[in-house]
Structure 1
Amino acid sequence: MAESILFSIEEGVGKITLNRPDKLNSFNREMALQLQAVLKECEAPEIRSVFLTGAGKAFSAGQDLAEVVDPEGPGMARILSEHYNPIVMGIRDLKKPVVAAVNGVAAGAGANIALGCDIVVAAKSASFIQAFSKIGLIPDSGGTFYLPRLIGHQKASALMLLGEKVSAEEAERLGMIYQFYEDDQFMEQAFSIAAKLATMPTVGLAYTKKALQWSFTHALIEQLANEDKLQQRAANTEDFKEGVQAFLEKRAPVFKGK
């Protein structure tokens, strides 16, 4: 049986591919647990950034509903507590940037896992849909946290309640994603972002990621203190010293992620 998750390391990038194309990469327990395990592997120092995409014509259609209604299945409570919540926190806690390359439809949990990544790009033919209301559920996998912060309460509320599909072009216009690319250029352009991040000062990027996360729950005065603390740490890295030296010597820096 084919692996539910494909994983390789290319140019310092941990490349993760959701691999149930016959099921539009919908999540079952096996794929969810494999993704968690691979995210842990991406903590290895030789991996400087992470690239997450889907095989075939979809990014992920969300939860495999056959598993939900299976009387022998894990049940909704375990699906959230053991599948999706650890995936979302695995992405957020990872001390390196995660690029979501949405190659096709991203629905339900699939959409919200993508939106929880650090940079989200999409193929022009891709789309996003908060499909939960169509089957009487609420958005999960961090959707109610991230989507209102990305596009505002009113628009997020309408998309979640009505379950309307959003094109990649509209998603970019709303600020839901960073950018979309023409389909024939998409994978090359998307991977080039992850490859560029892998050459950058990894520790500083991790601190930036942490500061942005903290900004969701801290007042300005607290956030200024957080910035001060993280900036002092960043200033003690080898990459900072290399960056300054390269600037003074008018050459390209060579960062090592230390």
Structure 2
Amino acid sequence: MFVDSHCHLDRLEWDKLKLELPDVIAKAQQAGVEHLLCVSVSLAEFEAMAELVAPFPMVSVSCGEHPLHQCDALDPELLLSLCQRQDVVAVGETGLDYFYAPDSKKLQQDAFVQHLQVGCQLRKPVIIHTRDARTDTLALMRSEQAYQAGGVLHCFTESWEMAKAALDMGFYISISGIMTFKNAVELREVVKKIPLDALLIETDSPYLAPVPHRGKTNQPAYVADVAAAIAEVKGLSLEQLAQQTTANFYRLFAGIQPKNA
């Protein structure tokens, strides 16, 4: 059984999918997906997101503000209050994105630090987005002692050196459908090196649909295709890959009970 460790169910394009949320969940289950983590990108939209997925026990939620969704300074008190909720199993999505928003570096850095501090305070793992910001991402993780919270670098597309640095801090690395893209040669080499016990899989749906679904709206069912691609690159059976990444997920997100617990 698979786990989709990072998806955005509140951002699925229903008109393109021509499905409702119960149908998306059912299709994921049919593909062997037993749990989904619906990841927050906006504090303002968190309550609506949590309400949307509340009827589905196989879906858990995180709480945070994506670096590309910040217009103003983050409200740290609101972040802490929401992350204290029992149903919130992780802090984020947070991090740094200098590729799309180089002009808001200071705003992003301040918010990232606040997310890391909340994660450490609550001992909840932090979900980190990083793009074109390797040095600052790692520097802030170190200075804020992010190892106390733990977490994951999600949708990883960076170098092996960055992955190794994060692994040395006890973080996990999550791989999305990007690794199935024709031009993702370097990423596939990185995937080969990531220890199996520190690896997660995700869709990041509705974005980045893996081959053979390129051009379609991504959905959690497609995490099985991500898993198959990783298993091939690492020379593992699909069952081995599924079992280990699922175990890793429940180890990291300890607030979630495994299906067979």
Normalising by structure 1, we get a TM-score of: 0.37
More relative contact order, 1 or 2 (CA 8 Å, 6+ apart):
2
Select the structure of larger CA radius of gyration: 1
Normalising by structure 2, we get a TM-score of: 0.37
